[in-house]
């Protein structure tokens, strides 16, 4: 199964710059200048492009399960 994603030239350029920053081939400040964004906006973009991490701390996993159970009790 193939998946086709269409992107504008601006989106492609943004993706290339974000990838260069993540690969440490370009600094955040230089990337911000290329994208005409602030440094903090580039940091937010980097977080958005980062894949979600798995939680390895059991106490956090337990608390998330507990919160989910509370939500189910509240909304049912």
Structure tokens that stand for 11 in this block? 């989106």
Residue-wise pLDDT tens digits, 16-41: 999 999 999 999 999 999 999 999 99
Is the entire prediction scored with pTM above 0.85? no
Q: Does the pLDDT at position 51 exceed 80?
A: no
* Lookup: tokens for 47: 């977080």
Q: What is the pLDDT of residue 63?
A: 52
Q: Which pLDDT does position 27 carry in this prediction? A: 95
| Angstrom distances, CA of residue 28 to CA of 35, 39, 41, 64, 67 | 10, 6, 10, 33, 36
């Amino acid at each position: 199964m193939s998946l086709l994603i269409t992107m504008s030239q601006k989106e492609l350029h943004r993706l290339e710059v974000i990838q260069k920053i993540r690969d440490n081939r370009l600094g955040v400040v230089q990337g911000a200048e290329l994208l005409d964004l602030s440094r903090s906006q580039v940091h937010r973009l980097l977080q958005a492009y980062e894949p979600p991490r798995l939680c390895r701390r059991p106490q956090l996993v337990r608390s998330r399960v507990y919160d989910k159970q509370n939500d189910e009790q509240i909304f049912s």
